[in-house]
Chains A and B, each alone.
Chain A
Amino acid sequence: MKRGYDVVVVGGGPAGLAAGVKARMLGLSVLLLEDSDTLGGIPLQCIHPGFGLHCYGEDLTGPEFSHRLIGSAEEVGVNHILNAYVSGMAAFPDNRRITLRVISPDGAFKLHASTVIYAAGAREKHIFEAGIVGDRVSGLYTAGEAQALMDLYGVMPGREIVVVGSGDVGLIMARRFALEGAHVKGVVELLPYPGGLTRNIVQCLEDYGIPLLLSHKVAEVKGERRVEKAIIVKVDERLRIIPGTEREVKCDTVILAVGLVPYIKPLRDLGVEVDPSTGGPMVNGFLETSIPGIFTCGNALAINDLADYAVEQGGQAALGAYNFIKNRGIPEAWKSVGKGRNVKLAIPHYISRGRDAIIYVRVKKPERNVKLHIPEIDWEMKLPSVKPAEMIRVRLDAEDLLKIIDGLTIEVIPDTCRR
């Protein structure tokens, strides 16, 4: 086996597969490392449609989407190792290479790469991150775990369900449970507005008569062996518990759909700079992290609501790796991307004046009839509604960006001229 590659991709989900495919198409030598025993990533267990609208112009289910990518990888020949775990990385700027330590049933070995594209995805927030205390009982699952149990491994977790979190993941799981015959008592949401798309509120909750409790949280779970009750309380506008509003909901299963966090432990160990608003690395327009030659994409970079964006980022990272190798580094003059009114996150954190750029933005609060606005270049995009759950994809041409001097700021402002 060859030990040195142009690109080593860590992670065989949508972002990693897309990065591997693009890198191969650009003529680079690629090795992809996947920790589980199949390629495809999380969409393999997301049996609902909503994938591929941007990439393929079709409304595919998750598995269909993953298999399209696997097919492309097969076509261009992306070599890969399954059951491979990266136990550590070391970056050697002098020799311009990165060494990875890999553990797999094939042996423990080291790989050398000119560039690494880190696409290892995200982890789910656990029960304490959801602010739940109480008895130590069984019957508590994260949404992804419940999804894998049902839709990969054919296991029914429980029969009386409380779902915590009204993002799309929680809504989709509420419907899965209801459809398979469970009694979904309700979806509990901390904020005063739901986290997921309206389409999912309708097709997952309304269609099945599942109550949505806004401004509520599960404070405690009780039970002897398995959960028997969830104590649900109301919260005020500062998200504090309103005393006296506790009520018990009988259940045997609590599903935690309270959010994802990029899984970047190997990058943290290397000292990469992290953006606290995304939980992922800070990156430039080529999705290169603060460590030269190490790129990131997909949910490891920031939590994406569309797998299509993960694919797009994978392609961009591969392009970055190609540039890095061709020019022995990426010597651009990067201008910073700042966050203005109602912008929670904006990626990448740096762009260059001379290239087209795609910026992914998330807002802090929902608003209607607004404009995305960049004052430095006098650019705007009207949007009828913005929601924290929906990532906004902004495309800027190199021409627009020529006007930047020091950097740019993205802000969300009310659209004063309504239709």
Chain B
Amino acid sequence: MAVKAFTCTVCPIGCEITVIVEEGKIVDVKGFGCTRGKDYAVREVLDPRRILVTVIRCRNGRLPTVSVKTDKPIPKGKTWEIMRILSGIMVEAPISMGQVIVRDVADSGADIVATRPNPKSDENSDQPHPIRIRSFRR
């Protein structure tokens, strides 16, 4: 029998919830203040998931990295496998916002999407004319 304790993070109250697990099954959940909290605790025990955010390397862009995220929460246990896959990737600029970098990464059901555009690095990008006010170029 195992007892797992959590501080619920669903709302600012932060109920202290305990979950009692026996032979891999939940037998009791105590301390929650609402059903959302109870669901949170159950999920944290049976199938904890997280959104994973990191950067991947990028060639020929204004920045050498592109920030990425999983488009849905992935099982915590797949974190390191996904990180390993991502550390071996080098993408090529230009990258647009939301661009899918890897589909269904590590069979998690989630895609890796770019969260920051990275235009091609442009050597002459800041040769200004006399006091040019930048308006947005379309």
Interface Cβ pair total, 8 Å cutoff: 99
List A residues 141-197 near B (Cβ within 8 Å): 150-154, 176, 179-181, 197
Residue B57 is within 8 A (CB to CB) of chain A in the complex:
yes
Say yes or no for B27: interface residue by CB 8 A criterion: no
Give Cα A82 to B126, complex, Å. 9
- Residue-wise, chain A 54-76 has the 8 Å CB interface mask toward B (1 for contact) of 00000001011001000001100
Interface residues on B, range: 35 or more
Scan residues 31-80 of chain A and give those whose CB is less than 8 A from a CB of chain B: 31, 37, 44, 47-49, 61, 63-64, 67, 73-74, 77, 79-80
CA distance A219 to B97 in the complex (A): 43
A49 touches B69 (CB 8 A): yes
Task: Report Cα–Cα, A74/B136, bound state, in Å.
Answer: 6
Highest count of chain A CB atoms <10 Å: which of B6, B55, B129: B55
Contact: B115 with A153, CB < 8 Å? no
By a CB distance below 8 angstroms, the chain A residues around B31 are none
- Residues of A within 8 Å of B13, CB to CB, are 384-385
Q: Is A87 an interface residue (CB 8 A)?
A: no
How far is B14's CA from A197's CA once the two chains are assembled, in angstroms? 10
Q: Given A47-B69, A47-B115, A384-B12, are A153 and B133 also a contact pair (CB < 8 Å)? A: no
B1-42 residues with Cβ-Cβ distance < 8 A to A are 6-7, 9, 12-14
Closest to A2 in B: B133
Q: Are B115 and A63 in contact (CB under 8 A)?
A: yes
Q: Once bound together, how far apart are the Cα atoms of A44 and B62, in whole Å?
A: 13
Query: Do A198 and B7 touch (CB < 8 A)?
Result: yes
Contact of A138 with B by CB under 8 A: no
Interface size on A, residues (CB 8 A): 44
- Provide the bound-state CA to CA distance between A237 and B106, in Å: 48
Report the nearest B residue to A180, measured CB to CB. B54
Q: Residue A105 at the B interface, CB < 8 A? A: yes
Interface residues, chain A, with chain B CB atoms under 8 Å away: 1, 31, 37, 44, 47-49, 61, 63-64, 67, 73-74, 77, 79-83, 104-107, 109, 150-154, 176, 179-181, 197-199, 201-203, 207, 383-385, 390
> What is B's interface to A at a CB cutoff of 8 Å?
6-7, 9, 12-14, 50-55, 57, 63-65, 67-69, 76, 79, 83, 97, 115-117, 126, 128-136
**Cβ contacts A to B, 26 pairs, < 8 Å:** A31-B133, A47-B69, A63-B116, A64-B115, A64-B116, A67-B116, A67-B117, A79-B133, A79-B135, A81-B133, A83-B126, A105-B126, A106-B129, A106-B130, A107-B130, A109-B131, A151-B67, A153-B64, A154-B65, A179-B54, A180-B54, A180-B83, A202-B6, A383-B12, A384-B12, A390-B12
